[in-house]
Amino acid sequence: MLKYDIVIIGGGPAGLAAAVSARKSGTEKILILERDHELGGILNQCIHNGFGLHTFKEELTGPEYAYRFMQQVFDEKIEYKLNTMVMDISAERVVTAMNREDGMFQIEAGAVILAMGCRERPRGALNIPGYRPAGIFSAGTAQRLVNIEGYMPGREVVILGSGDIGLIMARRMTLEGAKVKVVAELMPYSGGLKRNIVQCLDDFGIPLKLSHTVVDIEGKEHLSAVTIAEVGSDGKPIAGTEERYTCDTLLLSCGLIPENELSRGTGVKMNPVTSGPVVNESLETSIPGVFACGNVLHVHDLVDFVSQEAALAGENASAFVKNGCKDISDEKGIEIKAVEGARYTVPSTVNTERMGELLTVRFRVGAVFQDSYVSVYFDDERVMHIKKKIMAPGEMEQVILKKSALQEYAGIKTITVKIEKD
């Protein structure tokens, strides 16, 4: 059986950053397994700019951002296998993978880093009634067809969901000469970044209809029209508000789902809110030596944060290997709870001895909050109270915990993150 110190599942932005960081932390034998025919993951089809403002202080396209990390992987001579699908990861960290050249093979890994990314919610899961014709795509599939394959799905477009990929594709389809008639969003707020609404919809005069959904799909063979309607506070369509749009393309951008089929097979404990693994301050899952980072852990808004998170996972996986792959999981972790407006946190526990000087705790809010505060409580005592002009579900929030502060409060049981009006 092959043996590696660290096996990284996925060669997208998370996997690349984790690999580079693990190597810089001193681990030699690292292997990245990538199912596609090139490294870079979904960034390869994100040809728009706006990536890397935090990491590189400049605006890069997706492929450029990916290449910055790929270059480091090449420079560090980190091994990778392309066109290779991981079929199984055992709790003992035996990775089973397959490709054309090697067939099906197994690797004994000192540590495993899960970096499989996420996938889009398909039409079927949205329960939109109507026919099932050609012409309905998840926004990312359309993005691949247009940007990688070079084909246009259609000319008259309706978009359901205001996730970032949908917004980006509204602009992209427009630039390719298509008419994007409307973006309908079920929720009363957008699921995407504010800057994307401005740059991809407003700048092109594309209307965004909040609290609207698709209630009918016409066309037996190919899509010919969709009907959208306003929804009430119960999420149900309001009779009489229907508007019919003729179109040949419906793009869906209704949420991303961390791709955790492998993780479930391994038996890692999952967080039902994020659909990602539950992790501690080291980004280690419930199975010792199995780490997670990037969109497989929780869906991010900016790739810069993916890279930061992945670097931490790489560092900690490296430390785990250096420490002889010993299970040092213990009961010393302090629970981090998300309540009142905060939907979840990553990580969900913190061990003050194992954390670095600073620990970034990321979370998302469940609704739009204006002029509110992000508060952090150590048990019952409020220790942080940060004013925010606006917080929205489409954007990730964070608080930074200091090791020194936590050590002062020795013996606390719970850290609570909540949103407060004052």
Partner 1 sequence: MIYDVVIIGAGVTGSAVARELSRYSDLNVCVIEKGEDVCSGTSKANSAIIHAGFDAAEGSLMAKLNVEGNEMMDDLARDLDIPFKRNGSLVVCIHKEELDGLKDLYNRGIANGVKDLKILSKEELLEMEPNLSDNVEGALYAPTGGIVCPFILNIAMAENANVNGVDFFFNTEVQTLKRDENNVWHLRTNNGEYKTKYVINAAGVYADKFHNMVADKKIHITPRRGDYCLLDHEMGDFVSHTIFPQPTKLGKGVLVSPTVHGNLIVGPTAIDIEDKEATATTAAGIGDLMAKAGMHVKNLPIGRKVITSFAGLRAHEDNHEFIINWVDEAPGFFDCAGIESPGLTSSPAIGRMVGRMFREKLGLKEKSDWVGTRKGIVETKNLSIEERNELIKKNPAYGTIVCRCESITEGEILDAIHRPLGARSLDGVKRRVRAGMGRCQAGFCSPRTMEIINRELGIPMEEITKSGGKSNIVLERTKGGED
**Site for partner 1, rule CB under 8 A:** 35, 83, 85, 87, 96, 98-104, 106, 119-120, 122-125, 127, 129-134, 137-138, 140-141, 144-146, 148-155, 176-177, 215-217, 220-222, 237, 248, 261
DSSP 296: G
Tokens 């990314």, residue located: 117
Closer to partner 1 by Cβ: residue 299 or 419: 299
Least distance from C-beta 84 to partner 1, angstroms? 9
CA distance 267 to 263: 6
User: Which C-beta is closer to partner 1: that of 145 or that of 405?
Assistant: 145
Q: What minimum distance in Å lies between the beta carbon of 116 and partner 1?
A: 10
The three-state secondary structure class of 408 is: helix
Contacts of 146 (CB under 8 A, 6+ apart): 152, 153, 169, 172, 173, 176
Residue 197 sits at φ, ψ, to 5 deg, of: -65, -40
Q: In the complex, what is the shortest distance from the CB of residue 1 to partner 1, in angstroms, rounded to a whole number? A: 11
Strands 249-252, 156-160: pairing kind = parallel
Considering only CA atoms, give the Rg of the chain. 22
Q: How far is the CB of 164 from partner 1 (least distance, A)?
A: 16
Phi, psi values for residue 337, rounded to 5°: -110, 140
DSSP-derived 3-state class of residue 365: strand
Cα angle vertex 402, ends 341, 345, to 5°? 30
Residue (of 110, 14, 34) closest to 79 by Cα position: 34
> Between residues 47 and 405, which has the closer beta carbon with respect to partner 1?
47
Least distance CB 66 / partner 1 (angstroms): 19
Write the DSSP assignment of 160-217 as a string of letters.
E---HHHHHHHHHHHHTT-EEEEEEESSSS-SS-HHHIIIIIGGGT--EEETEEEEEE
The Cα-based distances of 153 to 177, 178, 208, 274, 365 in angstroms read 12, 10, 21, 31, 34
Closest to partner 1 by CB, 148 vs 198, is 148
In the bound complex, what is the minimum distance in angstroms from residue 151's beta carbon to partner 1? 4
Measured distance CA(403)–CA(279) in Å, rounded: 18
| Shorter beta-carbon distance to partner 1: residue 183 or 231 | 231
Q: How far is the CB of 222 from partner 1 (least distance, A)?
A: 5
Q: E-assigned strands of 19-92?
A: 30-33, 49-51, 60-61, 79-81, 85-89
**Complex with partner 1: residue 226 or 350, whichever CB lies closer:** 226
Q: Rounded to the nearest whole angstrom, what is the least distance from the CB of residue 93 to partner 1 in the complex?
A: 17
Q: Measured from the CB atom, is 246 or 414 closer to partner 1? A: 246
Smallest separation, CB 353 to partner 1 (Å) = 37
- Rank residues 151 and 331 by Cβ distance to partner 1 and give the closer one: 151
Which residues have a Cβ under 8 Å from the Cβ of 101 and sit 6 or more positions away? none
The Cα–Cα gap between 412 and 377 comes to: 10
- The answer to whether residues 233 and 218 touch, using CB atoms and an 8 Å cutoff, is no
| Nearest CB to partner 1, comparing residues 144 and 343 | 144
Of the pair 35, 48, the CB lying nearest partner 1 is at 35
Q: How many alpha carbons fall within 13 Å on the CB side of residue 92?
A: 6
Least Å from the CB of residue 233 to partner 1:
18
